[in-house]
Amino acid sequence: MIKKIEKSIINKEFENLCEDLVIQAKMFSFLSPDNCEEWSGMLIDSSIDSGDLKTEYDRSNIHRLLRDKEYAQSQFYQSYINYFILRLTSVLELYLKDSIKQYMKLNTDLFVKGLKINRSIEDKDKFISGKKLKVFLLEYNKEVYVDILNQIARQYSKGNLWISKFKHYTNFLEVEITSEMNGYCKVLDLLFKMRNDITHLNRHLDEKAKPVLKIKDGFVFDRETKLNESSYRKVLEYLIEVTNSSQKMLRESHSQVYTKWSMNPLKITEVYKEVVDKYRE
């Protein structure tokens, strides 16, 4: 039985993601070669009815997905695992950006910190243009306000792999990356490498290395791994474990942020006024 993913208390979207992924994972675990054979038969019949395939067709000439049920099963499994990786990594990135914005709204000192860092660096490295900042300081404008928040959030969640994103994030929020969190980051880096491999199609036949996930009992998963019911479950258990570890890490960073920075909910216009006044001090 595939384990349940622990519910997250930190982000509703992340919690919903977890529920979606585990239910879908369980549904896919019931997929059998016979299912694939049945579906291919239905598609072949439909193609004959529509005239796309002759009644007397040569089975050896149709697509492998329609004539090799074990191969079709493996491809379905691969597709779902790819989806799991893409969805999880995307929501993790979104969490970093969204949480920074929420923290800045609840603590204007953090907001001002982002603006003052931008002011202190060279023009070529600035992430908020002088023109945009001038408009922001002139008067409250919701569109400009949101844009400034987004630019600061992007600046402190940027990076190719997870560890670089998380280091930017924790440095800005003054959160300590514990040894346990660092271990989680290393595992997530593997997942982000796999995500980049899935999305970037600039592969070469002579490449010597491709991203792999070391699951357990010596089983290794990469983009070409052939999967059956047993190996699929191993990969899904691994991904669910990584998801739970991610939640644990984000809970810890969230707790540190709330210990370090006092949070005070204000109206948007009140946040804006405080930020401008502190920035001009």
Residue-wise pLDDT for 225-249, tens only, equals 999 999 999 999 999 899 889 988 9
pLDDT at res. 198: 86
pLDDT at res. 10: 52
pLDDT at res. 43: 92
- The model's pTM: 0.88
Name the residue among 104, 97, 60 with its Cα closest to residue 263.
104
pLDDT at res. 9: 43
pLDDT at res. 217: 81
Digit-by-digit pLDDT tens for the chain (281 residues) are 555 555 444 567 777 877 888 888 888 889 999 999 999 999 999 999 998 888 888 888 889 999 999 999 999 999 999 999 999 999 899 999 999 999 999 999 999 999 999 999 998 889 999 999 999 999 999 999 999 999 999 999 999 999 999 999 999 999 999 999 999 999 999 999 999 888 876 555 555 578 889 998 889 998 889 999 999 999 999 998 998 899 889 989 999 999 999 988 889 999 999 999 999 98
DSSP string, 224-241: T----HHHHHHHHHHHHH
Backbone angles phi, psi at 2, to 5 degrees: -70, 135
Cα distance between residue 123 and residue 130, in whole Å: 9
Tokens of 207: 């490449």
Q: Is the CB of residue 248 less than 8 Å from the CB of residue 88?
A: no
**What percent of the chain is helix, strand and coil (3-state, nearest 5)?**
70, 0, 30
pLDDT at res. 59: 83
How many C-beta atoms surround the C-beta of residue 199 within 10 A?
A: 11
pLDDT at res. 2: 56
Residue-wise pLDDT for 100-156, tens only, equals 999 999 999 999 999 999 999 998 889 999 999 999 999 999 999 999 999 999 999
pLDDT at res. 8: 44
